[in-house]
């Protein structure tokens, strides 16, 4: 494609735009989704990590960086030249940081300001409480621990670096041994129940909230501890960790769906009252534990596509009900962008 001298953000032809994302996380479905909707796409890869995109032949064009630190004005001007719209995902936000994302010049799908609300645990909690969601208790200091808690260090990527404790003594044992110098953490009540990650999509173009699918994570070593006897676990002195390895699809009992839709509605409605640009739209995820009494405790929100949507490249049981084509979240994003372009409403979904 010939690079454009000037950006064509005002064009109402989808072929004048390119869907662009960083090669990691959920890029395969974002790129395939763009093609499925008849749009061109581009992937920005760290040198040496392009193999999956080439092997599955999902990308029309590649840009390369040696390192994500090298994300600079040059890369951005390449994107601007191509009239690219960046689709953020978990790795994008975590490699670049929300401040760097805020300063970015190319077109960006979503609300940049919302990333600060999801990455700051205090702000995130304020938002979710206002949306009247049930949240795990938070302990102000380790001395207050009076039952099972999960300790989360700030910026712990993919669950790595979390630990479980049941008393102040046990907290300090693990903390002092493994993380003596890291004092940026939160102590949350450990909720016993089934983790479910609900994938939503809210469209300001159609005004509709959709549930696209659900997953649970496959975590090391939390998902393998149950494979050995309790005595052996104790003898091996294993500490539970939650490093994410992959995702399983889930379908929940149907009677939980009405409340799940309402929870999503409230989170979107409250986001509009935060000082956060256009508020929350597009893909997002409520991460919850459902107890035996079917209470849904939300422990986190992700305000962008989550990797748990990856099992649904061919659509989920939920999207099969609504769409007559296989609808991944990646494809849903491309469809939203295409419709917004053709309706002359693109600026409404750019951050």
Which residues bind to ligand AMP, rule: CB under 6 A? 136, 150, 159, 162, 188-191, 195, 217, 219, 242, 287, 289, 299-300
Two tokens, residue 146: 């009076």
Compute CA distances 345 → 12, 37, 243, 336, whole Å.
9, 18, 40, 10
Cβ distance 94 to 158 under 8 Å?
A: no
The minimum distance between CB 145 and ligand AMP, in angstroms, equals 13
Residue number, 306 or 350, with CB nearest to ligand AMP: 306
The minimum distance between CB 305 and ligand AMP, in angstroms, equals 15
Residue number, 191 or 346, with CB nearest to ligand AMP: 191
The minimum distance between CB 22 and ligand AMP, in angstroms, equals 20
Residue number, 11 or 291, with CB nearest to ligand AMP: 291
Question: In a 3-state reduction of DSSP, which class is residue 280?
Answer: coil
The minimum distance between CB 289 and ligand AMP, in angstroms, equals 5
Among 121, 110, 120, 238, smallest CA distance to 174 is for 238
The minimum distance between CB 186 and ligand AMP, in angstroms, equals 10
Residue number, 37 or 189, with CB nearest to ligand AMP: 189
The minimum distance between CB 329 and ligand AMP, in angstroms, equals 17
The minimum distance between CB 199 and ligand AMP, in angstroms, equals 13
Q: How far apart are CA 172 and CA 117, in angstroms?
A: 30
Compute CA distances 93 → 8, 43, 283, 302, 327, whole Å.
26, 16, 14, 11, 24
Residue number, 36 or 116, with CB nearest to ligand AMP: 116
The pairing of beta strand 208-221 with beta strand 194-203: antiparallel
Tell whether omega for the bond before 15 is within 30 degrees of 0, i.e. cis: no
The minimum distance between CB 106 and ligand AMP, in angstroms, equals 29
Query: How far does CA 184 lie from the centroid of its chain?
Result: 22
Residue number, 19 or 196, with CB nearest to ligand AMP: 196
Residue number, 203 or 220, with CB nearest to ligand AMP: 220
Any alpha helices (H) in 114-256, and if so which ranges?
114-119, 121-130, 168-178, 230-236
Compute CA distances 300 → 70, 276, 284, whole Å.
30, 18, 11
Q: How far apart are CA 4 and CA 8, in angstroms?
A: 8
The minimum distance between CB 196 and ligand AMP, in angstroms, equals 9
Cβ distance 282 to 348 under 8 Å?
A: no
Among 129, 162, 128, 164, smallest CA distance to 145 is for 164
Residue number, 83 or 310, with CB nearest to ligand AMP: 310
Residue number, 217 or 278, with CB nearest to ligand AMP: 217
Residue number, 174 or 320, with CB nearest to ligand AMP: 174
Q: How far apart are CA 188 and CA 192, in angstroms?
A: 12
Determine how many CB atoms are found less than 10 A away from the CB of residue 230: 9
Among 247, 249, 255, 264, smallest CA distance to 294 is for 255
The minimum distance between CB 285 and ligand AMP, in angstroms, equals 9
């Amino acid at each position: 494609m010939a690079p454009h001298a000037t950006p064509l953000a005002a064009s109402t032809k989808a072929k004048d735009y390119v869907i662009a994302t960083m090669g990691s996380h959920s890029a395969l479905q974002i790129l395939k989704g763009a093609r499925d909707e008849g749009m061109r796409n581009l992937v920005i890869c760290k040198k040496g990590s392009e193999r999956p995109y080439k092997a599955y032949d999902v990308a029309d064009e590649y840009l390369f960086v040696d390192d994500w630190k090298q994300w600079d004005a040059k890369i951005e001007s390449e994107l601007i030249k191509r009239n690219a719209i960046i689709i953020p995902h978990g790795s994008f936000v975590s490699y670049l940081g929300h401040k760097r994302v805020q300063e970015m010049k190319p077109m960006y799908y979503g609300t940049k300001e919302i990333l600060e609300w999801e990455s700051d645990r205090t702000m995130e909690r304020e938002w979710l409480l206002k949306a009247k969601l049930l949240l795990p208790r938070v302990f102000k200091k380790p001395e207050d621990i009076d039952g099972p808690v999960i300790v989360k260090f700030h910026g712990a990527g993919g669950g790595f670096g979390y630990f479980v404790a049941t008393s102040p003594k046990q907290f300090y044992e693990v903390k002092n041994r493994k993380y003596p110098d890291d004092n940026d953490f939160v102590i949350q009540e450990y909720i016993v129940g089934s983790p479910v990650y609900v994938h939503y999509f809210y469209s300001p173009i159609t005004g509709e909230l959709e549930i696209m699918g659900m997953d649970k994570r496959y975590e090391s070593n939390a998902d393998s501890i149950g494979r050995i006897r309790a005595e052996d676990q104790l003898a091996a002195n294993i500490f539970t960790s939650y490093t994410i390895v992959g995702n399983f699809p889930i379908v929940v009992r149907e009677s939980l769906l009405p409340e799940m839709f309402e929870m999503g509605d409230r989170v979107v409605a409250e986001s509009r009252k935060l000082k956060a640009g256009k508020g929350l739209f597009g893909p997002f995820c409520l991460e919850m534990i459902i107890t035996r009494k079917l209470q849904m405790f939300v422990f986190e929100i992700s305000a962008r596509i989550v990797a748990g949507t990856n099992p649904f490249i061919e659509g989920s049981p939920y999207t099969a009900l609504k769409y007559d084509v296989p609808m991944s979240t990646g494809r849903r994003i491309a469809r939203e962008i295409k419709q917004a372009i053709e309706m002359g409403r693109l600026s409404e979904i750019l951050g």
